[in-house]
Amino acid sequence: MSISAILTGTGRSVPEKVLTNADLEKIVDTSDEWITTRTGIKERRIAAEHETLSTFASEAGRQALEAAGVAPEDVGLLVLATVTPDMPIPATACKIQEDLGCVNACAFDLAAGCSGFIYAQSVAKQFLLSGRCQHALVIGAELLSKYVDWTDRSTCVIFADGAGAVLLSAGSPPRGVLASAMHSDGSMVDFISMPGGGTLHPPSQKMIDERLHFIKMKGNETFKMAVRSIDEVCREVLDQAGLTPADVDWFIPHQANERIISAVGKRLGMNDDRCYINIDRYGNTSSGSIPIALDEVVREGKIKEGQIVLMAAFGAGLTWAASVARW
């Protein structure tokens, strides 16, 4: 009998502190009007000084387990998609394992920029399909506010903090992840990067003075690549699953920019109520954005069993990925 990877539980956790566009007007030379029309963002959540990535990632994971009714010790794999871990060593996934009591899981972090959640979901799916485990906890989480240059108006108004999680469980078709695809193109590594802090520019006073420990983004170039790539990878997974955009009940795109989402939606003919947007409230939370949005839709009771859910993302690397699931 064939096995499928079913999304059995979701969760989300975001910081309490809200930073509005009006707040940002006091920090950099920007305006609510510019941010709203260029990005769709009205406010975002920002972690407090004492809060770390695992504060939110663990809570999101706990909620996903609870929603699925699965005990922590039954989780065989814990993957955390992030580029903003608690520490460079060890993997933050191990801290989350300890927080949640997933004592039988192998745990590791996965870095694929904003595509991280879909990448992690695809890896988890393979673990389940190969019979390696019964339950896999996939968390997408970022605290980008800790890496943002608060003097750079082109990035600090966009990036934000938050965590979402999904439990994938082995089950039987027709439910489950029907198809997924992942792509990378390293020729554009400098489109979105944080050059300092690794082996290229190890921590030093010079590295800090040159502000290499902050995120840099070629926004406009990235924007153009994003629209084309998300459109293509969505068609690829729908084709693989024998579906068309007309079959999709929910489109949950990465929340990078409302203009990207509506341009992709237009190309796919899904620029309507099926296309979920919450960037106005959360900004761009990178790996966190899809699982946060998914959890909102699920907890509002909008997704019904049997419905088709399309998820797609694009980010640093460059990387892009999509998956389509029957709920």
Nearer to ligand UT7, 181 or 279 (CB): 279
State which amino acid sits at residue 104: N
Least Å from the CB of residue 24 to ligand UT7: 8
Nearer to ligand UT7, 154 or 271 (CB): 154
Residue in the block written with tokens 């998609």: 81
C-alpha torsion sign, points 139, 140, 145, 149 = positive
CA distance between the termini of the chain: 20
Contact 268, 31 (CB under 8 A): no
**CA dihedral of 191, 197, 203, 207, whole degrees rounded to 10:** 10
| Per-residue DSSP letter, 55 | H
Report the nearest approach of ligand UT7 to the CB of residue 210 (Å): 21
Q: Residue with the closest Cβ to ligand UT7?
A: 219
Residue 194 CB, shortest distance to ligand UT7, in Å, is 13
CA distance 238 to 215: 33
CA distance 65 to 70: 5
Residues that bind ligand UT7 (CB under 6 A): 30, 34-35, 38-39, 114, 153-154, 157-158, 192, 219-220, 222-223, 226, 256-257, 260, 284, 286, 314-315
Active site residues: 114, 254, 284
User: Smallest distance from the beta carbon of 218 to ligand UT7, in angstroms?
Assistant: 8
